[in-house]
Chain A
């Protein structure tokens, strides 16, 4: 084993100096590509020895600016060729702020360290570190990396991080934000993001209205790409479209009939928010009774997302219909599915 480790060390140091002889190469490969390709051809015991050599290199190469490029390579390799030694060294570097100020080949070492540390697993220390280190940062790229990394924890910390992310959001970062959110929502499911919207977005919007709008647009873009696989993506989409007054009554009726697929309290909250944000005429309907209901108008069927305790009298229907938002009115030629099972009173 010891012999193998020293052989691998020699090979790694040599590759870091640009000599890739003896390593498998594909066109356009970076140094870490070749090293990892080589690692993947090894037996399990040799892989352990190789990973130990990576750890040794991480601890022995002085953390100076002139070695920043070597650390970029080594950290990429350490993400695949893992060892307990590398995990400890990387965390130490992170907590000591070593490499923090360096950038090499457009890779920010501070970000690289966070991502690499997280690839060894997220625990409370690392999650706290990520929140702490981001709290006062305006670096949106760093924060987007943190957002993605936190999704690996498979809990609510990723959604919770949105509050930390928001102040750094800019128009330029909107596309990458949407891409990152899609990755996170795909991994975690969309429920925690809907819950976050309900619990925190209004308060944050007071302080950062522009940023929260960009975040919502990105959430909407991402949710719409996940519609087929996640019912909560549909709910996020409906809520954010409603804010833009861009949904029809049929869609709301669909949502209103979703229980028991989704939590009823969450659904009620969603419907309440939709009503509040998009459809003023709903103010005529008692807040506690916001659910779906079909009723008929002499000129044709009209679907209203709201349930009243008792059928509305014709006299009361008339002003509601007159003032209904266009998006709440289905085509007069199209009969709604009155057989759809709507939530009972």
Chain B
């Protein structure tokens, strides 16, 4: 598989609803190429609506910058756009889910009223101390009453067993491995570090979750690592940022409006040392997934 095959497939799937020029604009930048791959995979699996895709691509213009960001803006502007996200969710798994959070993001989302600074090392250390423990027992997070969500009203999660297995085998470099394998792609460096933690969900927590699609991914931020995959028991699969690690199963669920309970616990993971992403390897993985699809 290559770009020209993806281009033809996309044009065929959208069957005259968009112009060749608009499809071509996607291939001007690596994020657009990745977007085109994801769209092909999801449309050929009937996971997303071709008419909606055509409408979104139809908004892309030559002189308005990155095609993927234009796609993101168009998606964001759809009324009731949240209905396009986290589609066909199913009730859970007996083990719990796990969400990875950067402590700086946790501060920005959940500590607003306590005015912690997500870039102040002292504040980060305090939040780490009071919300995340080094042990798996963790810290209960029942006082997080703000809506538990991420960008677009959805939360990305993976299996607790994956986290536990990795933690046992790779405890020393756990943050770096998660950063890479989950496609988080934090570029942190020693003087601009990112500290990661996880929130472990209670087992059997009754929340419907779904395999993610192109519409769940963030196309507004450049250099992402999301890649769609054919339907597989309602689990997606992450894509390693460097191409050197196996991805892991992932799902998305809708926000928890009332926040968390004490059954949710915070566990500290560690400090990432950054990584050297290989965007081409993500595309290669995409080509593989598209080929497997057909």
The CA of A280 and the CA of B24, in the complex, are separated in Å by 86
What is the CB-to-nearest-CB distance from A332 to chain B, in angstroms, rounded to a whole number?
34
Which chain A positions have C-beta within 8 A of B112?
A: 105-107
Any A CB within 8 A of the CB of B117: yes
Contact A33 B118 (CB under 8 A): yes
Q: A40-B191, A182-B129, A183-B129 are in contact. Are A28 and B105 (CB under 8 A)?
A: yes
The CA of A37 and the CA of B274, in the complex, are separated in Å by 14
The CA of A107 and the CA of B114, in the complex, are separated in Å by 8
The CA of A61 and the CA of B131, in the complex, are separated in Å by 36
Q: A33-B108, A76-B117, A107-B115 are in contact. Are A26 and B129 (CB under 8 A)?
A: no
What is the CB-to-nearest-CB distance from A218 to chain B, in angstroms, rounded to a whole number?
12
Contact B192 A24 (CB under 8 A): yes
What is the CB-to-nearest-CB distance from A264 to chain B, in angstroms, rounded to a whole number?
32
- Interface of chain B residues 134 through 191 with chain A (CB within 8 A): 142-143, 146, 150-151, 184-188, 191
Any B CB within 8 A of the CB of A48: no
Binds B, one of A84-92, A108-116, A188-196, A335-343: A108-116
Contact A32 B143 (CB under 8 A): no
Contact A32 B113 (CB under 8 A): no
Contact A37 B221 (CB under 8 A): no
Contact B184 A141 (CB under 8 A): no
Any B CB within 8 A of the CB of A144: yes
CB < 8 Å A-B pair total: 80
Contact B113 A141 (CB under 8 A): yes
Which chain A positions have C-beta within 8 A of B130?
A: 179, 182-183
What is the CB-to-nearest-CB distance from A214 to chain B, in angstroms, rounded to a whole number?
14
Contact B117 A27 (CB under 8 A): no
| Size of the chain B interface, CB-CB below 8 angstroms | 32
What is the CB-to-nearest-CB distance from A215 to chain B, in angstroms, rounded to a whole number?
16
- Interface of chain B residues 70 through 119 with chain A (CB within 8 A): 102, 104-105, 108-109, 112-115, 117-119
- Residue in A28, A79, A144 with the greatest tally of chain B CB atoms within 10 Å: A28
Contact of A141 among B102, B114, B131 (CB under 8 A): B114
Q: A28-B102, A37-B192 are in contact. Are A106 and B119 (CB under 8 A)?
A: no
What is the CB-to-nearest-CB distance from A30 to chain B, in angstroms, rounded to a whole number?
5
Contact of B114 among A25, A28, A144 (CB under 8 A): A144
Q: A32-B119, A183-B130 are in contact. Are A27 and B186 (CB under 8 A)?
A: yes
The CA of A115 and the CA of B112, in the complex, are separated in Å by 12
- Residue in B109, B112, B115 with the greatest tally of chain A CB atoms within 10 Å: B115
Contact B114 A176 (CB under 8 A): yes
The CA of A105 and the CA of B111, in the complex, are separated in Å by 11
The CA of A148 and the CA of B114, in the complex, are separated in Å by 9
Any A CB within 8 A of the CB of B265: no
Any B CB within 8 A of the CB of A327: no
Any A CB within 8 A of the CB of B218: yes
The CA of A26 and the CA of B187, in the complex, are separated in Å by 7
